[in-house]
A and B are shown apart, each in its own frame.
Chain A
């Protein structure tokens, strides 16, 4: 067991170095003509525009709108998907019966459903939340089912032999043991949800959010730079939220990390 580098400092330093190197490479690709600047703006141009967007009075409220839609959507997804995953994961006959339906629905792109959702929902926020729930349920659902399958059978048997009922086994052994899997699922779902929030705003119309900002930017010949700059913001939002999730996961699953001696 090597010394666990706990200093947040070094993670920050390493991360910053990584990002700077990456940005330099991207800038070089533009300057050397690997990526045509006629078709795609230079990294530096994008960054400058992205920073300037803060001064745009319409922009920050848009970011806030996207964030709210994302948070509501993700919360709704967790409420729907985790219990469903626990049910399907612990009662295999139901999972088997519903599998044709879930496997059929899963690959249907939400992008294709947006026109239909626009017809069904008379409220845009509801529609956004619904699209997020539809698309980001799957990672949580699947990870939950996989997590339950990976539960140590000895532990389950032990509890069962002590006379605990199936629900107690589920809550005392299966759920804690599957929790890291579920957490990873939620983290993946969080980024899917962000993508869906922006895509629904972009393709479903409305006047709020990063997506509508992108839609309006399409009116301008300089639109491409604005669109990419807004996309950078979407990426930043994802970066921040993911950081929060990782932090929370580490606090909650410290026992798991120590148990498996995770190299972090």
Chain B
């Protein structure tokens, strides 16, 4: 009898624990302050981003006071981890706006993990932004030689791998012809030099450094042909946030576009911004091609990303990417 009572007590404890746990899952609310000039629903923005060149406009907007001019307070961008953990930050309300690549964003929405809206574009692949590198003296001279080789990408099942699959297809190869390996970008250069992989998918400034230091050779541009001008990443908010804070989103968009225009027209501004949130020094920054900044989200191009994802079985069915583009206009 006492055994039963004990059992009941234990399950009661478990239930309480679960209830507490569930209560913790509510997600953060948004505190709104109405006492501001533009009638913004929320003036303080937590922006999460990866420390990549493509997020320079956020730093520029902070430094030049573009956010402030719109009535927004953005102190310091939060550096996020990529993938599921970063997405969880946005979905749980720790972040209001998050920089993310489109493949992750589309996967999240398509798999029902969260509802997201794209409120701005960060980066579109332009020639010179990314490169497929091989070791000095490697027999690999073109994509056709990739058969049976190991290709390093920074993240499995993401932009890099998707672009590779498309490139392989254009060259008459399939996913079965290569082995993908995950490597963080800073480790690729050394790993390539020590034969841990045959081909490395690298962005700038990593590929330039690999070339100048180890004599690594560029075999191909990963974004070419069907993936030319491929949209890489954008800024996301949750659907819920977008609905509740249309004016804040519009203010963010205006500041972002202004900062992106600065980044496009004056690369010196980007070079000055980079050391503030990355460990890319000025000298390395000057080597970079940049030029992938973009001010508009292009629905047709975004749909191309989703279609490629369906073609290469990232998604089970066709996905309508236009549903993710934020269209709410606040005036």
Could you tell me which A residues sit within 8 Å of B by CB distance? 36, 38-40, 97, 114-116, 118-124, 202-207, 212, 215-224, 226-227
Contact = CB atoms under 8 A, between A and B. Distances in A.
B86 A205 contact: yes
A227 B186 contact: yes
Given A120-B25, A220-B284, A203 B81 contact: yes
Interface in B37-83: 48, 50-52, 76-81, 83
B196 to A, nearest CB: 8
Interface stretch (B91-99, B139-147, B159-167, B247-255): B91-99
Contacts of B185: 218, 223
A219 B81 contact: no
14 contacts: A40-B190, A115-B87, A116-B88, A118-B92, A119-B92, A204-B85, A215-B81, A218-B51, A218-B185, A219-B51, A220-B205, A221-B186, A223-B186, A224-B190
Contacts of B83: 115
Given A115-B88, A123-B94, A221-B213, 8 more contacts: A119-B88, A122-B92, A122-B94, A206-B78, A207-B77, A216-B279, A220-B284, A223-B185
Contacts of A36: 190, 193-194
B194 A215 contact: no
A221 B190 contact: no
B79, B205, B213 interface centre (most CB from chain A within 10 Å) = B79
Interface residues of B, number: 50
Contact of B279 (A40, A119, A120, A223): A223
4 closest A-B pairs by CB: A223-B186, A39-B190, A221-B209, A220-B279
Contacts of B77: 207
B210 interface: yes
B284 A39 contact: no
Nearest to A217: B279
Interface in B1-56: 10, 21, 24-25, 27-28, 48, 50-52
A219 B84 CA distance: 19
A205 B186 contact: no
B107 to A, nearest CB: 13
Contact of A220 (B50, B196, B278): B278
A204 B284 contact: no
Contacts of B209: 221-222
B79 A119 contact: no
Given A221-B186, A221-B284, A216 B79 contact: yes
Interface in B179-194: 184-187, 189-191, 193-194
A220 B190 contact: no
B89 interface: yes
A104 to B, nearest CB: 14
Nearest to A126: B24
A128 B251 CA distance: 33
Given A97-B10, A115-B84, A216-B278, A205 B89 contact: yes
